[in-house]
Amino acid sequence: MGTSKPIAMGKPCRGTTRSGGGRRFLRDARGATAVEFGLVATPFLALLVAILQTMIVFFAQRLLDEVVSQASRTIQTGQAQASSLTQSQFTSWVCEKTVILFTCGNFMVNVQSSGTFASASSTTPTLTFDSHGNVTNPWNYQLGNPGDIVVVQVMYQWPVMLGPLGFNLSNLANGNRLLVSSSVFKREPY
């Protein structure tokens, strides 16, 4: 057999790393804050966008409820009938009160009257769309007579941007959220 040369102790062989350098690399904390922020920033920003979008939708719904309550009062007291208020004029009045957040052309107004509360329907109509995405529902505008039960529904398609991480507030097939505000009342005798 051949003779082997002894290996000198204390000197690393070519191609190996010093154990002190590896430990130093593992202990080095420079950049750790940036990496941790990168891991936390995405979910934090996603949550922030979701909260803001939800807040805006709830604010818009609340504003619509308030305006529909005021607009319904004109029908309840007979002011709309006395001034021959048409459906487009009623829609314009609603739009004037909500002009900050809403686009006037997207309002849908449905007013129905009936003789009793039992026969009045306050269910939200199912929207139908044409091939271009426009709503094709025929809307009623029956103000009724004194003593009649009137159901006023104002609907609006709120544009919803898709939220991060799968958060989505849309409730329509076209990706929008349908905001609906209803008011049911008995017409006052006038």
Beta bridge mates, 61: none
Q: Phi first, then psi: give them for residue 6, nearest 5 degrees.
A: -70, 145
Query: pTM of the entire structure?
Result: 0.74
Q: Phi first, then psi: give them for residue 85, nearest 5 degrees.
A: -70, 120
| Per-residue pLDDT tens over the stretch 84-94 | 999 999 999 99
Alpha helices (runs of H) in the chain, residue ranges in sequence order? 19-27, 32-76, 79-82, 87-97
Beta bridge mates, 138: none
HSE toward the beta carbon, residue 115, CA cutoff 13 A: 0
pLDDT along the chain (190 residues), means of 10: 58 55 67 82 86 91 95 92 92 87 90 90 88 88 92 93 75 88 89
| Residue 53: CB atoms within 10 Å | 19
* Structure token digits, residue 119: 């026969």
